[in-house]
Amino acid sequence: MTRQDHAATVSNQQRASIANEAHVDLCIRIHADGSESGQPSGMSMQVPAGDLLGTPSIEQPSAQAAQIILQAVTQQTGADSRGLTPRSDLTGFNWSEVPCILLEMGFLSNAQENEQLKQQEYQQNIAVGIANGVCQWKQSMESE
């Protein structure tokens, strides 16, 4: 956990370094999405891709983890899945040496999702979904 409030005192590059130095199996970044329109809804997972990656070998395990965890979170919450989005422009991915994913857990610009995201029970369901997905991903890695 690199922060617990709105104050960003650690840069994205520093967050990647924290995960790298800890040799974590998976770095999970958690965000809320937004849009100019109040219409978009659902959860998505961003994954590292592209020529800027310092460690291209993280692409495949990141995508595998993202797919499994996104499915577990949407199943737990009932949210729609918007799928995976490859990103080559995120510092947190490009500096990562370990598998890394970014969960967009809903749209703050969507009134209904904004209200859901404020609810402790919904937040708990997101956390349970992430935990279930991580366990499923780890099991899939062990069986390979």
Specify the pLDDT at position 142.
87
Task: Say whether 102 sits in a helix, a strand or coil.
Answer: strand
- Is residue 123 very low, low, confident or very high in pLDDT (cuts 50, 70, 90)? very high
Name the CATH superfamily housing domain 12-142.
Zn-dependent exopeptidases (3.40.630.40)
* In the predicted structure, residue 7 carries a pLDDT above the cut 90: no
Identify the residue whose tokens are 């797919």: 67
pLDDT at 1 over 90: no
What three-state secondary structure class fits 48?
Answer: strand
pLDDT of residue 10: 86
The pTM (predicted TM-score) of the whole model is 0.93
Domain extent listing, the chain:
12-142
Residue pLDDT, tens place only, 24-44: 999 999 999 999 999 999 999
Question: Tens digits of per-residue pLDDT, 49-93?
Answer: 999 898 999 999 999 999 999 999 999 999 999 999 999 999 999
Contact between 117 and 39 (Cβ < 8 Å): no
Q: Rounded to an integer, what distance in angstroms lies between the CA atom of residue 60 and that of residue 23?
A: 17
